[in-house]
Amino acid sequence: MKFMADKKGTLYLCATPIGNLGDISSRCLEILESVDVIAAEDTRRTLQLLNHFGITKALTSYHEHNKKSKGDYIINLLLEGKNVAQVSDAGTPAISDPGEDLVRLAIENGIEVTSIPGPVAGINALILSGLPTSRYAFEGFLSTNKRNRYEHLKSVQKDTHTLIFYEAPHKLLSTLKDMKQYFGGERKIALARELTKLHEEILRTTLDGALEYYAEKSPRGEYVLIVEGASEVATDEECFWQDLSVTEHVDHYIDGGIQQKDAIKKVAQDRGIPKREVYNEYHNI
């Protein structure tokens, strides 16, 4: 049975810098000083942040792997009247970070939730991209599972919103290749790297251009990929294959009486990707 205080605590969602410590807000520091407990995604990293600003505070971990049990624990603290600040590794909690679940739990328990706004890597990259910002869709990370990844890309292939993706450096190349397969090599992309840090870099190019650039350079640091939305003028004729997977695309030509080898060649031409890639995808290699 949960102990209920006369007054429940408040859950503060505190945005922290995504690289430059100068981006912390004075309100965020005040809240971190004033709460009873800080729920941190990575307690070591948050401790460094707190040490930098001379704040001493009780920390508890709340991350992807303990969020179920820790979620209940934190909700109990809030029900007991304690104020809790939630911080993620970097940026705004609940944006591709654990936090979403805690917010939902808090709301279900009638706990007040408020936010101390600050940096979000995706929005920062979007405004620097030079691509349309009036309508955009946040897509977060692509799954590492191939099938889910392809389904995700396919689902936004015709989306006309500017698309925001997060990516880790070691997966950047394969992500660019997969994006080219679904969006075509001509689609514009801005790769925002190490935002707010010393080596901040924005590469504004196309998917072909990005692949060429990273053929000679190793991706380093944290990336946000801002991808141009699909063109509204693309006709069904030009893009009849956009809703098809690579395999369905090959089968479409085979069903039309074309030999498998030639069908693979045509698909590679349509999509602007190497024949080997189509072959491997078709044969599940």
Contact between 172 and ligand SAM by CB under 6 A: the answer reads no
Judged by CB, which is closer to ligand SAM: 139, or 277? 139
Instruction: Please select the residue that binds ligand SAM; options are 160, 222, 231, 265, rule is CB under 6 A.
Output: 222
CA distance 257 to 251: 10
Token code pair at residue 54: 């001379």
Closest separation between CB of residue 196 and ligand SAM, Å? Answer: 6
In Å, what is the CA distance from 87 to each residue of 42, 62, 99? 9, 9, 9
Contact between 39 and ligand SAM by CB under 6 A: the answer reads no
Closest separation between CB of residue 142 and ligand SAM, Å? Answer: 11
Contact between 184 and ligand SAM by CB under 6 A: the answer reads no
Token code pair at residue 267: 């698909």
Instruction: Please select the residue that binds ligand SAM; options are 194, 205, 213, 254, rule is CB under 6 A.
Output: 194
Interface with ligand SAM (CB under 6 A), residue total 24
Closest separation between CB of residue 262 and ligand SAM, Å? Answer: 40
Contact between 121 and ligand SAM by CB under 6 A: the answer reads yes
Report the DSSP pairing between strands 37-40 and 58-61. Answer: parallel
Token code pair at residue 82: 């304690």
Contact between 168 and ligand SAM by CB under 6 A: the answer reads yes
CA distance 149 to 236: 24
Instruction: Please select the residue that binds ligand SAM; options are 224, 246, 264, 273, rule is CB under 6 A.
Output: 224
Closest separation between CB of residue 74 and ligand SAM, Å? Answer: 18
Contact between 14 and ligand SAM by CB under 6 A: the answer reads no
**In this structure, are residues 156 and 139 in contact, taking their beta carbons and an 8 Å threshold?**
yes
Judged by CB, which is closer to ligand SAM: 44, or 261? 44
User: Of the candidates 233, 230, 207, 243, which has an alpha carbon nearest to the alpha carbon of residue 161?
Assistant: 230
Contact between 86 and ligand SAM by CB under 6 A: the answer reads no
CA distance 96 to 236: 34
Angle, CA 210 vertex, CA 205 and CA 213 arms, to 5°: 115
How many residues make up the chain in this entry?
A: 285
Instruction: Please select the residue that binds ligand SAM; options are 9, 71, 91, 219, rule is CB under 6 A.
Output: 91
Closest separation between CB of residue 253 and ligand SAM, Å? Answer: 37
Contact between 17 and ligand SAM by CB under 6 A: the answer reads no
In sequence order, what are the beta bridge partners of 113? 11
CA distance 189 to 178: 13
Closest separation between CB of residue 22 and ligand SAM, Å? Answer: 13
Angle, CA 126 vertex, CA 272 and CA 18 arms, to 5°: 115
| Packing angle, helices 246-255 and 275-282, rounded to 10 | 90
Judged by CB, which is closer to ligand SAM: 111, or 195? 195
List interacting residues with ligand SAM (CB under 6 A).
Answer: 18-19, 88, 90-92, 95-97, 120-122, 166-168, 192-197, 222-224
